[in-house]
Amino acid sequence: MAQSHEDLLAAAEAEVTSIDVAEAAPLRADPGTVFVDIRDVRELERDGMIPGARHAPRGMLEFWISASSPYHKPWLAEDKTYIFYCASGWRSLLAAQVAQKMGVRSMSLRGGYSGWKTSGQETATREPKPGL
């Protein structure tokens, strides 16, 4: 039987630690924590992002994590805790679940970037890259 998105999210919620903005905000100063924005680059350019966050588009995440992939990104293999976020928290919950299965110490930001902005936390702009 097919699973709905609600089923997938419930399974991920059971496996992944999710933290709210109040818990996550102080971790920006922790050198052992990396915030990872998995939204599409157009969302980052339009809406901004958490200052200091790294970008890993959701569609490439597994390939960027896997050391055997030609697309591997070494920064995703460091001995750190990665807090994944998207706009509302759904995509990042699934991303954190996959990353965790791949051996990455992962968390998901409950409420996503929308919750971050609503709570009045600092944001940064991302300028479009020339030629795109």
127 inside domain: no
131 inside domain: no
Residue 132 confidence (pLDDT): 53
Write the pLDDT tens digit of every residue in 13-44: 999 999 999 999 999 999 999 999 999 999 99
What is the pTM (predicted TM-score) of this model?
0.93
CATH number at residue 23: 3.40.250.10
Domain containing residue 88: 5-118
17 inside domain: yes
32 inside domain: yes
Angle CA(102)–CA(63)–CA(94) in degrees, nearest 5?
55
Work out the pLDDT band at 128, boundaries 50, 70, 90: confident
91 inside domain: yes
Write the pLDDT tens digit of every residue in 100-121: 999 999 999 999 999 999 999 9
124 inside domain: no
Total count of domains within the chain: 1
Residue 53 has phi, psi (to 5 degrees) of -70, 150
Classify residue 41 as left (phi > 0), alpha (psi -120 to 50) or beta. Answer: alpha
In sequence order, what are the residues at sequence separation of 6 or more whose Cβ sits closer than 8 angstroms to the Cβ of residue 108?
12, 16, 17, 18, 19, 83, 84, 85, 89, 92, 93, 95, 96
31 inside domain: yes
35 vs 9, which has greater pLDDT? 35
